[in-house]
Amino acid sequence: MVDSHDQEMSPIKVMGYDTKVLRISPQNIGNFVFHNPEKKFLEDWEIQLSKTSSDAQHLVKAAAQLRTSNIPVAFPTETVYGLGADATRSSAVLGIYKAKQRPSDNPLIVHICSLTQLRRLLLPEGHRVPSTSVDLPKDPIPSIYHSVISKFWPGPLTIILPLPSPSPFASSVTASLSTFGARMPSSLLALALIHLAAIPIAAPSANTSTKPSTTTAAHVIEDLSGRVEYVVDGGPSTVGIESTVVDGLTQPPVILRPGGVSIDQLRDCVGWENVTISYFTGVQDAIPRAPGMKYRHYSPKARVILVKGELTRCMVKKNLKQDGSVGIIRTKYWKNEDLEQNLMAKEVQSSHTKNFQFAAAGSNNSELNTKADFNRDTDSIIILSVKRFQASFGKEVYSSFHDIWTLGLGQDAAGIARGLFSALRELDLIGVDIIFVEAITDSEGDMAAAVMNRLRKAAELELES
């Protein structure tokens, strides 16, 4: 069940909705008022909505859709964009699976906006709701989670909780498990939307099943246009990779999916010193020998090949079709100059080189991307430089040249995580046939394990030089 792969369902049925993008800047929706300014979102809070701003009206519209309709709403979170629906209504949750073309055997994460909301869901119906801190002796949130909640919520951490009986959720949310995953996102827009809708929101990533997750509204439109009515656009996601999923109900606690919070960060928390990994890290587990035998996941249209060490001319030649073009995603060590030298046929006199730039998680050539001026973090989104050169790998060296597009995600794992899904999607838009990605070492940097986990799922081959 955990980390289970989205499966392909075809053919894609067109639903024909007139999809609208609702641009919202949290700065313009009104005032966030905290009952306990130190605990902020961990205690009760309110929004005083602006009566005049269109951003507030957009938010109200999206929240109303979540409350009343069975058509899911795409919305930003700090990890990836989510496709949300009322977790308490089966017909609404079914709408998620319809829009995503995803089978309903995979449990969904329930997104909440305050601990009070979570406690209310955990307590038996009609039970009095405790209203203060997580440290209450009768807190229905298991004590093992108190340290990680205080440290990482709101944020990219999903915790597995016992499902109360009777369950407040639609059965398709939990896929018949006796537990459920809960997360309080740190995106102000996500929090505001859940607060206004006043319901728990079930939300998987807002992509079509098997495709890379989406980190901008433009990417959501690419996948879900006509399949949802509203896409809330809050600018690029700042983390870029999904939340870390942890189960503290076992001893020792385990990480079920690596993500925005690293194992080292978790080990610093009381009760989590011995947290272990319970997801596949091996190549063979993730990449079967026979191509096409694995479920596709996080996969662009192009074939993805993960490369440890140097990318050689022989690797490219062997895996490239006659007239194909190549995408290369650079991370730590690969350099444009070296790649050109390694891959270019000697016979090529001059390379056709073209440089252009776009924002890693924002495609600034897209109309949908609002300049993320309300969020300091998004200002630091790295700029990718995409460079095109040509090389020949065939026998007919003078007549058959392959286009090669290279794109750098920077050297640090957090930056690579932020730009990864975006890079895979951008290379698909360029139309490359094959993408070589430079692997990083799982243990280097906080987000490296999460990056490599997604890459192993996206890749159909792993090569080492």
Contacting positions for Mg ion (CB under 5 A): 205
Binding-site partner at residue 160 among Mg ion, ligand TXA, none, CB < 5 to 8 Å by type: ligand TXA
**Coil, strand or helix at 188:** helix
Beta strands in 211-289, from DSSP E residues, in sequence order: 230-233, 244-247, 254-257, 276-277
Nearer to ligand TXA, 332 or 456 (CB): 456
Minimum separation from the CB atom of position 242 to ligand TXA (A): 4
| Residue of 22, 66, 71, 108 that binds ligand TXA (CB under 6 A) | 108
Give a three-class secondary structure readout of 377-406: HHHCCCEEEEEEEEECCCCCCCCCCEEEEE
Q: Is 363 left (phi over 0), alpha (psi -120 to 50) or beta?
A: left
Binding-site partner at residue 80 among ligand TXA, Mg ion, none, CB < 5 to 8 Å by type: ligand TXA
By CB under 6 A, the residues from 127 to 156 that bind ligand TXA are: 156
| Residue of 245, 246, 307, 414 that binds ligand TXA (CB under 6 A) | 245
Nearer to ligand TXA, 295 or 398 (CB): 295
256 binding ligand TXA? (CB under 6 A): yes
Q: Bridge partners of 162? A: 179
Count of residues that interact with ligand TXA, criterion CB under 6 A: 29
| Residue of 65, 116, 205, 299 that binds ligand TXA (CB under 6 A) | 205
String marking each residue 179-198 x if it binds ligand TXA according to CB under 6 A: xxx-x-x-------------
377 binding ligand TXA? (CB under 6 A): no
Tokens found for residue 27: 């700065």
283 CB contacts (<8 Å, ≥6 apart)? 456, 462
By CB under 6 A, the residues from 67 to 106 that bind ligand TXA are: 77, 79-80, 82, 106
Binding-site partner at residue 3 among ligand TXA, Mg ion, none, CB < 5 to 8 Å by type: ligand TXA
Nearer to ligand TXA, 25 or 106 (CB): 106
Nearer to Mg ion, 122 or 160 (CB): 160
Minimum separation from the CB atom of position 243 to ligand TXA (A): 3
**Coil, strand or helix at 434:** strand
Tokens found for residue 291: 């191509």
Residue position matching structure tokens 């639903």: 15
Q: What is the rounded CA–CA span in Å between residue 401 and residue 390?
A: 6
Nearer to ligand TXA, 181 or 235 (CB): 181
Q: Bridge partners of 158? A: 245
Please, what is the end-to-end C-alpha distance for the chain in angstroms? 34
**Helix or strand (DSSP H, E) at 64:** helix 54-68
Q: Which residue number has the CB closest to Mg ion?
A: 205
CA distances from 406 to 316, 426, 464 (A): 13, 11, 19
Nearer to ligand TXA, 257 or 303 (CB): 257
Nearer to ligand TXA, 90 or 132 (CB): 90
Burial, 39: exposed, middle or buried (Cβ in 10 Å; 0-12, 13-18, 19+)? middle
Tokens found for residue 115: 């601990």
Binding-site partner at residue 177 among Mg ion, ligand TXA, none, CB < 5 to 8 Å by type: ligand TXA
Binding-site partner at residue 79 among ligand TXA, Mg ion, none, CB < 5 to 8 Å by type: ligand TXA
Neighbours of 432 (CB within 10 A): 23
Tokens found for residue 219: 């990417």
Minimum separation from the CB atom of position 59 to Mg ion (A): 24
Q: Which residues bind ligand TXA (CB under 6 A)?
A: 1-4, 77, 79-80, 82, 106-109, 156, 158, 160, 177, 179-181, 183, 185, 203-205, 242-243, 245, 256-257
